Amino acid sequence: MSNIGSYKERLKNFDWSIAEKELGYNEGEVINIGWYCSDRICELGKAGKTALIWEGLGGGARQYTFDDVRVRSNKFGAFLRSLGLKNEDRVCLFMDKIPELYIGFLGVLKIGVIAQPLFSAFGDESLHVRLDNAETTAIITQRKHVSKVRRIIEKSPYLKNVIIVDYDGKKPLKDREITFDMEEYEEPKDFEFFPTKAESPSVLHYTSGTTGQPKGVKHVHYSLVSQYLTTKWVLDLQEDDIYWCTADPGWVTGTSYGIIGPWSMGITQCVMDVGFSAENWYKFIEKHKVTMWYSAPTAIRSLMKAGDEVVKKHNLSSLRHLASVGEPLNAEAVIWSEKVFGKPFLDTYWQTETGSIMLTNFPGMKIKPGSMGKAFPGITATIVDTKTFKPIQEVGKIGLIAFKPGWPAMMRTYWNNETTYKSKFTNGWYLPGDRAYIDQDGYFWFVGREDDVINTGGHLVSPFEVESALLEHEAVAESAVVAKPDEVNMEVVKAFVMLNAGYVADNMLELNIMNFIRKKLSPLAMPQEIEYVKTLPKTRSGKIMRRLLHAKEWGEEIGDTSTLGDDE
C-alpha cells in the first residue's frame, strides 16, 4: 500500500495541516528544518538509525546515524556562531556531494543563518555573481575548490570567512581562510538551535532567467511542510526504505528531496559522489539495496544509451519505486524503465521557485508515459491563455502552466529583486514559464518553455549570462545563444558567434572559447557547439532575434519576421 492511498480521496478536504500534525507543528510555533531533520528524528527513537550512506572517489566510504548527524550539525552551528555569524546572514555551501555538505546544510539552518548552496562546478564568475548578489558572509568549501574562491576574494569584501572542511596542512592558509573538521571539532555542550518561525528565511537557491543576472530564490522554514508531505506521498518513502536521490544539493532537488524530505521522515539515504557511469550506478543500487530512486531524465536517457545488457548483470530487485525530475521525461524512457526495471519512472514537475513537487504521477495512478501527471493535493493548477491569462477550458489547448499562490514551499521573493518576483504573478496566478495542455482525463502534458531559458540536463542556463561572458572573450564581437536539441540532455547550449577582425574561425578558437565559458561560468553553460556567423538576425531596434536562430535549430517555422532588419 502506498502512502498516498487513493489520490481521489486525498483531494477531498485536503489541508496542509495534515503535514503539520504529523510533524507536530502548530501555527505560530518554532519551526527549524535543521532541528526537524536531526534532533527530532532522534527524539522519535531513531538516533541509532543510519541516516547517510556515502561513497566517494577512490573508494571512500562513510556512514552516519541520525545521532551522528545531530551532533555534527550542532558542531557546524557552534563553529559558525563562534565566527560571529548571526541570524539571517548568508553562508554559501560550495562543496561536492560530500557528507559535510549535507550535514553542514542542517548546521547552517540550525543557527537561523540562510543556506546558499551552490553547484561546485561553477566557475569563478558564476560563483562571484551569486555571492555578490547575496552579500554572503562565509563560504564553506573544500581544498579542491578553494582556488576559485581565492581568485574572487579581492572583489568580495563582504566575504569574511572561507571555511575549508578538509584541510590537510600541506599548504599555508591565506587571508580570511580558516579550517573546520566536523569529526575533530569539540561537541558543543548545551547547543541551542535558533528559534526560527514559519516565515524565517532558510535557503537561497539561485536560478537563471532569460535576462539579467541569476536570481536568488528565497525559501522559508515553513517549506518543510510541503517538502515533507510530497516526499511521503509522491516519493512514497517508507520506514525501511533505502533512498537514493541523485541530485546535487547545489540545486533545489538536492536540498528539498536530497536532504529535507527524506531526513524529516527519518529515512536512510545513500549518496554517491563519483562521476556518471551506468556500471557504477547499477553496482551502487545493487550493493546498497536501494529501494526508492529519484533521478533525472538526462541520467535515465544515458542509462538507456548504455544498453540493457549492463542492467542484466546486476541484481536490481530491491528497487520498489522510481521517480524523475528536472525536465520532461519522454515516453520512451518511461516505457524502457518498465521493461528493464519492471517499474516506470514517475515524472514529477516543479522548479526552484515552487520549492516542492507541483504536478506529478502518483504511486497507484494510471501512468500515461510522457505526461506530467496531475496536481498534488492542495495545489490549484491550470493552463491559462497566453494573452488573457484566464484558465483555458478547452481540452488539449496549449497555454501557460499556472498555480494559485499559497502552498507552503513557495518562494517568498527573489533576493533584492522584488520587481522580478512580482512579475511572475499575473491575474492571480503564479506562472512558472512553461507551456502545456491538459487532456480529457486531467493529465498535464509539457510542450515547452515560454522564454529563451535553456534547460540542459535539468538545469536552467540563461542565454543572456552566456552571451555576456562570451563578450569578455577577446575574439568575440557579438553572439547569440540558443538551445539546441540533444538526445540525452534534452537541450544543450549553442552559440552563434561573430568574431572581431583578425581572428580566424577555426577549431582551436572554438575550443578556446568553449573552455573560456566552462571555466568562467560552468560546464553546463559551455556551448556544446559554436557556429561562426558574419551577421546576427536583429530587429530594427537592434535586438538579437534569438527566436529565429532557435527555430532554425529545431526545424520549426520561423514565423513573423516583419521586425527583422538584417537577416543572414
Contacts (CB under 8 A) with other proteins, residues 89-118: 96
- Nearest-CA neighbor of 420 among 201, 135, 250, 214? 214
Q: Which of 110, 145, 218, 219 binds other proteins (CB under 8 A)?
A: 145
Contacts (CB under 8 A) with other proteins, residues 257-296: 273-277, 279-280
Nearer Cβ to other proteins (147/393): 147
- How many residues bind to other proteins according to rule CB under 8 A? 35
Does residue 523 interact with other proteins by CB under 8 A? yes
Does residue 335 interact with other proteins by CB under 8 A? no
Count how many residues are written for the chain. 568
Largest CA distance in the chain: 71
Does residue 485 interact with other proteins by CB under 8 A? no
Q: Which of 12, 157, 508, 541 binds other proteins (CB under 8 A)?
A: 508
Contacts (CB under 8 A) with other proteins, residues 151-190: 170-171
Is residue 315 exposed (0-12), middle (13-18) or buried (19+ Cβ within 10 Å)? exposed
Among the residues of 326-457, which ranges form H helices? 331-341, 418-422
- Nearest-CA neighbor of 57 among 260, 230, 280? 280
In whole angstroms, the minimum distance from the beta carbon of 542 to other proteins comes to 32
Q: Which of 30, 83, 121, 564 binds other proteins (CB under 8 A)?
A: 121
Does residue 515 interact with other proteins by CB under 8 A? yes
Does residue 457 interact with other proteins by CB under 8 A? yes
- Please give the sequence-ordered ranges of beta strands (E in DSSP) within 149-221, or none if there are none: 161-164, 177-179, 201-207, 215-220
CB 454 within 8 A of CB 463: yes
Does residue 246 interact with other proteins by CB under 8 A? no
In whole angstroms, the minimum distance from the beta carbon of 280 to other proteins comes to 6
Cβ neighbours of residue 94 under 8 Å, at least 6 residues apart? 117, 118, 120, 122, 127, 139, 140, 141, 145, 149
Grid cell 592558509 is found at 173
Does residue 208 interact with other proteins by CB under 8 A? no
CB 324 within 8 A of CB 357: no
CA angle 156, 184, 45 (to 5 degrees): 105
Nearer Cβ to other proteins (21/144): 144
Q: Which of 136, 253, 295, 302 binds other proteins (CB under 8 A)?
A: 302
Nearer Cβ to other proteins (27/506): 506
In whole angstroms, the minimum distance from the beta carbon of 505 to other proteins comes to 13
Query: In Å, what is the CA distance from 61 to each residue of 290, 366, 506, 567?
Result: 16, 39, 45, 57
Q: Which of 44, 57, 173, 471 binds other proteins (CB under 8 A)?
A: 57
Question: Which residues of the shown chain bind other proteins in the complex (CB under 8 A)?
Answer: 57, 96, 121, 143-145, 147-148, 170-171, 273-277, 279-280, 302, 456-457, 488-489, 492, 506-508, 510-511, 514-515, 518, 523-524, 526, 528
